[in-house]
């Protein structure tokens, strides 16, 4: 059995002379603190994941650290993931995507996902949090073979609702998704466009009492989709602050789970429940226990 590890650090040890500079400027306690934060954190993460990889008989852990502390005006970001025939991958983020306040321009991110025949991809980033006056456009382009299974999560908060006046106080939130087959045949396209200054999302039938929405795109063969539908009933609990339901995608491409909740952990938990069902039905594997830091 093989385990592969790639580690990319943007901490104090990322430059050739950084360790020497750190030794000159910090005492022993400072050096130990930096090592603990920038090196041992990754070791602890790998330690938690290794038992699950052993159960599966294989695994690769790739850690990618962003150079920024958040998404800023003028940012143009691209993430490219290719999963070849019969391969499997799980891609996530270490924390929420925080879209900072803007006085000009906007921020944009493209996710380009290509998944081959019989392959399996879980692309499950954490929630997006648009700050006051943020303008953010996300576009997800998926090229998926008919026999592949692809899960793509997308969720967003109403803003930093515990900061006074920041609930639905961003300028623009645009979330576009398009799916095509390897030969270019269109499967479906969807776009969520929220401009609170033009039309309030707090209307009945939109968000109203809820502060977080999430979409879980499930591209999968029809037989898998049918088994998932049989196991995932709709849910509506206004008192508990959670509602969710599955719908079928065009062209028998799979399913879409829609979730709204009052807190991000509720939406994440519901999406995780459905994710567990899809993984079981598609590849016959279960999810590991939720990590403590989640």
For the cut 70, the answer to whether the pLDDT of residue 16 exceeds it is: no
Cα dist. 164→43, 158, 209 in Å? 38, 12, 17
Q: What is the pLDDT of residue 208?
A: 82
Q: What is the pLDDT of residue 40?
A: 81
The residue ranges of every structural domain in the chain are: 1-65, 70-283
* CA separation for the pair 94, 88 (Å, rounded): 20
For the cut 60, the answer to whether the pLDDT of residue 67 exceeds it is: no
Average pLDDT over residues 206-214: 90
Could you please report the per-residue DSSP string of 141-191?
EEEE-TT-EEEEEEEEESS-TTSTT-TT--SEEEEEEEEE-TT--EEEEEE
Do residues 268 and 280 make contact, with C-beta atoms less than 8 angstroms apart?
Answer: no
Could you please report the per-residue DSSP string of 51-94?
HHHHHHT-EEEEE---SSSSB-TT-EEEEEEEE-TT-EEEEE-S
pTM here is 0.81
CA angle 167, 173, 175 (to 5 degrees): 135
* CA separation for the pair 25, 272 (Å, rounded): 45
- β-pairing, 242-248 vs 235-237, is antiparallel
What are residue 159's DSSP bridge partners?
A: none
Do residues 282 and 254 make contact, with C-beta atoms less than 8 angstroms apart?
Answer: no
* CA separation for the pair 147, 83 (Å, rounded): 13
Do residues 206 and 171 make contact, with C-beta atoms less than 8 angstroms apart?
Answer: no
* pLDDT band (50, 70, 90) for residue 182: very high
What φ, ψ does residue 160 adopt, rounded to 5°? -85, 85
For the cut 60, the answer to whether the pLDDT of residue 15 exceeds it is: no
* pLDDT band (50, 70, 90) for residue 28: confident
- Which of the 8 DSSP states describes residue 100? -
Q: Which segment, 2-16, 90-104, 263-277, is predicted with the most confidence on average?
A: 263-277
* CA separation for the pair 113, 143 (Å, rounded): 6
């Amino acid at each position: 059995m093989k385990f592969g590890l790639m580690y990319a650090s943007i901490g104090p040890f990322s430059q050739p002379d950084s360790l020497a500079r750190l030794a000159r400027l910090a005492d022993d306690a400072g050096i130990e603190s930096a090592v603990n934060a920038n090196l041992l954190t990754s070791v602890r993460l790998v330690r938690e994941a290794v038992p699950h990889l052993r159960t599966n008989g294989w695994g690769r852990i790739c850690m990618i650290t962003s150079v920024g502390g958040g998404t800023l005006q003028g940012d143009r970001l691209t993430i490219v993931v290719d999963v070849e025939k019969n391969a499997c991958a799980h891609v996530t983020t270490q924390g929420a995507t925080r879209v900072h306040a803007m006085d000009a321009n906007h921020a944009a991110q493209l996710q380009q996902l290509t998944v081959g025949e019989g392959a399996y991809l879980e692309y499950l980033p954490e929630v997006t949090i648009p700050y006051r006056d943020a303008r953010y456009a996300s576009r997800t382009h998926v090229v998926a073979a008919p026999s592949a299974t692809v899960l793509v999560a997308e969720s967003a908060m109403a803003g930093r609702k515990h900061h006074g006046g920041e609930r639905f106080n961003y300028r623009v939130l645009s979330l576009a998704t398009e799916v095509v087959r390897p030969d270019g045949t269109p499967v479906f396209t969807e776009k969520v466009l929220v401009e609170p200054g033009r039309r309030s999302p707090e209307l009945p039938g939109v968000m109203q009492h809820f502060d977080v929405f999430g979409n879980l795109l499930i591209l999968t063969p029809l037989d898998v989709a049918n088994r998932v539908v049989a196991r995932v009933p709709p849910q509506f609990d206004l008192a508990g602050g959670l509602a969710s339901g599955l719908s079928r995608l065009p062209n028998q491409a799979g399913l879409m789970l829609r979730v709204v909740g009052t807190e991000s952990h509720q939406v994440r938990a519901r999406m995780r429940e459905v994710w567990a069902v899809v993984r079981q039905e598609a590849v016959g594997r279960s999810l590991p226990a939720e990590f403590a830091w989640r």
